[in-house]
């Protein structure tokens, strides 16, 4: 009997790793990729090794080392993580692998939870490493065992590109059996193979080019590409990855007959594209983000002297499919109608509502220590100071005036240095989370100290990698599987990097926090404030209970000092002109320290 289970896309991918016989799995958390390692690390009875690495480059190298030893390895990350890991990736293509190695990269079209929407398929082309692009969570799972086999057979890693709607989509998933046969680790010494000095690299580069033909042929013949010719129609659609299911449904809804080529692999299946050329007059290429398939299709048509009208994102006929954001059925219906000359009516508003809706942006949690750190920081540094920031939950403080820049992981400290080195006279105080500091902030702090930048670096240490789903990091003394391990001391680490002013403070202790920030500001050179308090969500899970606070209506003057703190647990009753604390209070107590009228007190149980 077949087994079907309802699963998150990332859980299905994790299942694929188990079915395919994955042995070493690494990654750095990043939405929408995190649940792959989360799922594997939460399995108690496991016959594979799994780790959260400190960043994507490190994760890629650990997986590469495992693969050099002949075992099946996987590295997972979000799209921007591949920028960090691009250095090993590019040379790993030359070097090749022994055990199957899958580089799982989750793209985020529409920037649901990211700073850009770059397209990982460009990396596949750039590095000459083949790529897989699933159209459904089921296909995502099924591709993984194939990817292990393909990679070890051709001696090259393979990029597996997911997107938010695959990784965070759910589906009924048909399970297959688990591959119990696993290669034994056996690192074979071979300097020509594993040592990429120029002499060897010059040999490996042509080899990489040579194997492209076989790779292309085998991928073309795989089940992940599929051409359905419709002899009654002169229209053709090429759709890649998840765009295929959107295009398929859009064609059905519109009742349009067309030949359809589904793309699931890179390099692209040229023979199938040429066969499609022979059967159509007009061809629409549907893909999310970059015109990656489209550019190749245009080049192929040009090269073969094919006279087919090709439509997509570029070209003289204009844009049919948007190059930014994620696709959906509506966008595909519009593109298909326009391309094949059908009339298309935008879905009009059924309900014309005059109601003005309040906006509801995501916000820091009630009692979040970051809010307290920012409040003290701003008190000490003032609104005139410059506040470079980084990537994590704390970026949600953007409304509060202490987030002036966010570029990429680790950049807060280096951007702060740059602003100072530019000659900016205003004080510069940057902030970075614990996990982000360990990811790429260490280099930046060393650089800042070494080059004598007069800035303050705040490490917002909430004792967990919170934003991506509370993964452990080296600051917690726990591994991915929650085994005890070394707990890195931020204080000693920063001193080791040469920082002379390093102070640890509890942001819930408002006066002390302001005092430390003031002294850090006065210090000449790079000063470090480690603002340490456990994430409120983690604290609750760990069973830490604090009494909530309440406001004495008699004493409250309605000055709104506590309301300006911005905690979702503090409301203002406009009719009574009094502040009030709601049931979301977690008992951090910072608002009580801010009240000049002693109107806020702990509820004694």
Residues that bind another protein (CB under 8 A): 4-6, 8, 31-32, 112-113, 136, 165, 168-172, 242, 245-246, 248-249, 253, 328-330, 333, 347, 349-351, 353-365, 393, 396, 399, 467-469, 563-564, 566, 568, 570-572
Closer residue to another protein in complex, CB, 226/447: 226
Cβ atoms of 533 and 462 closer than 8 Å: yes
**Distance in Å, CB of 175 to another protein, minimum:** 12
* Shorter beta-carbon distance to another protein: residue 346 or 484: 346
Nearest distance from residue 332's CB to another protein, in Å? 9
d(CA 242, CA 206): 34
Q: Which of 491, 513, 486, 487 is nearest to 501 (CA)?
A: 491
Cβ atoms of residues 592 and 602 within 8 Å: yes
Q: How far is the CB of 577 from another protein (least distance, A)?
A: 13
What crossing angle do the helices spanning 198-220 and 86-95 adopt, rounded to 10°? 80
CB under 8 Å to 582, separation ≥6 — which residues? 568, 569, 570, 571
Nearer to another protein, 357 or 486 (CB): 357
Question: Could you give the CA distance from residue 438 to residue 410 in angstroms, rounded to a whole number?
Answer: 9
At residue 484, φ and ψ (nearest 5 deg) are -65, 145
Least distance from another protein to the Cβ atom of residue 392, Å: 10
- Quote the least distance from Cβ 363 to another protein, whole Å: 5
Query: In angstroms, what is the minimal distance from the CB of 421 to another protein?
Result: 31
Distance of CA 46 to the CA centre of its chain: 26
Min dist. Cβ of residue 521 to another protein (A): 26
Nearest CB to another protein, comparing residues 73 and 164: 164
CB of 312 to another protein, least distance (A): 20
Minimum gap (Å) between residue 252 Cβ and another protein: 8
The smaller minimum CB distance to another protein, of residues 584 and 601, is found at 584
Residue 157, number of CB atoms within 10 A of its CB:
28
Cα gap 15→536, rounded to integer Å: 31
Residue 592 is encoded by which pair of tokens? 């009580």
Burial of residue 506, with CB atoms counted within 10 A of its CB: 0-12 exposed, 13-18 middle, 19 or more buried: middle
- Residue 38 or 503: the one with the smaller Cβ distance to another protein is 38
Identify the DSSP state of 232: T
Q: How many CB atoms lie within 10 A of CB 120?
A: 27
Where helices occur in 340-485 by DSSP H, the ranges are 369-381, 411-421, 434-436, 442-450
Nearer to another protein, 191 or 349 (CB): 349
C-beta of 396 vs 551, nearer to another protein = 396
**Shortest spacing between CB 401 and another protein, in angstroms:** 12
Alpha carbons within 13 angstroms on the beta-carbon side of residue 90 total: 8
First to last CA, the chain: 56
Q: Which is nearer to another protein, 364 or 590 (CB)?
A: 364
**Residue closer to another protein, measured from CB, 78 or 296:** 78
Q: How far apart (Å, rounded) are the C-alpha atoms in residues 136 and 179?
A: 22
Task: Match 């959260």 to its residue by tokens.
Answer: 52
């Amino acid at each position: 009997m077949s087994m079907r289970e309802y699963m998150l896309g990332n859980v299905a991918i994790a299942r694929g790793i188990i079915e395919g016989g994955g042995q070493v799995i690494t990654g750095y958390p990043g939405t929408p990729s995190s649940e792959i390692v989360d799922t594997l690390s939460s399995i108690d009875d496991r016959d594979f090794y799994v780790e959260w690495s400190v960043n994507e480059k490190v994760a890629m190298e650990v997986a590469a080392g495992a693969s050099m030893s002949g075992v099946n390895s996987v590295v997972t990350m979000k799209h921007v993580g591949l920028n960090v890991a691009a250095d090993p990736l590019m040379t790993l293509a030359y070097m090749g692998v022994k055990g199957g190695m899958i580089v799982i990269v989750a793209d985020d079209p529409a920037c649901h939870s990211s700073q850009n929407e770059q397209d990982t398929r460009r990396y596949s082309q750039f590095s000459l490493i083949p790529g897989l692009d699933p159209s459904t969570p089921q296909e995502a799972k099924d591709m993984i065992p194939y990817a292990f086999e393909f990679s070890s057979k051709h001696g090259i890693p393979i990029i597996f590109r997911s997107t938010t709607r695959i990784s965070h989509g759910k589906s009924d998933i048909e399970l297959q059996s688990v591959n119990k046969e696993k290669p034994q680790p056996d690192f074979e010494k071979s300097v020509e193979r594993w040592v990429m000095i120029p002499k060897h690299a010059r040999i490996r580069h042509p080899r990489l080019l040579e194997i492209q033909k076989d790779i292309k042929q085998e991928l073309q013949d795989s089940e992940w590409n599929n051409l359905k010719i419709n002899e009654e129609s002169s229209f053709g659609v090429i759709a890649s990855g998840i765009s295929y299911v959107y295009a398929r449904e859009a064609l059905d809804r519109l009742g349009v007959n067309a030949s359809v080529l589904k793309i699931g692999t890179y390099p692209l299946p040229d023979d199938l594209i040429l066969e499609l050329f022979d059967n159509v007059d007009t061809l629409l290429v549907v893909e999310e983000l970059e015109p990656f398939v489209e550019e190749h299709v245009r080049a192929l048509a040009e090269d073969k002297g094919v006279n087919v009208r090709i439509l997509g994102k570029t070209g003289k006929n204009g844009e049919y499919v948007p190059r930014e954001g994620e696709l959906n059925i509506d966008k595909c219906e519009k593109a298909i109608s326009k391309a094949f000359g059908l009339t298309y009516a935008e879905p009009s508003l059924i309900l014309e509502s005059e109601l003005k809706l309040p906006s509801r942006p995501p916000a820091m949690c009630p009692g979040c220590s970051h809010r307290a750190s920012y409040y003290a920081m701003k008190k000490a540094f003032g609104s005139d100071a410059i506040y470079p920031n980084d990537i994590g939950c704390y970026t949600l403080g953007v409304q509060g005036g202490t987030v002036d820049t966010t570029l990429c992981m680790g950049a807060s400290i280096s951007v702060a240095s740059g602003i100072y080195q530019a000659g900016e006279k205003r004080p510069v105080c940057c902030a970075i989370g614990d996990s982000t500091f360990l990811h790429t902030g260490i280099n930046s702090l060393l650089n800042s100290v070494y080059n004598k930048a007069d800035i303050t670096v705040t490490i917002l240490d909430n004792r967990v990698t919170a934003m991506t789903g509370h993964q452990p990091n080296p600051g917690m003394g726990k591994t991915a599987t929650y085994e005890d391990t070394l707990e890195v001391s931020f204080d000693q680490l920063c001193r080791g990097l040469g920082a002379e002013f390093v102070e640890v403070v509890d942001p819930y202790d408002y006066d002390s926090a302001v005092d430390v920030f003031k002294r850090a500001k006065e210090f000449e050179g790079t000063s470090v404030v480690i603002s340490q308090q456990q994430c409120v969500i983690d604290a609750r899970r760990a069973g830490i209970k604090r009494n909530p606070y309440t406001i004495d209506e008699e004493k409250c003057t309605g000055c709104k000092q506590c309301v300006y703190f911005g905690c979702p647990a503090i409301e203002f009753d406009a009719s009574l002109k009094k502040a009030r604390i709601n049931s979301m209070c977690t008992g951090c107590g910072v608002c009580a320290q801010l009240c000049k009228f002693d109107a806020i007190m702990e509820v004694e149980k």
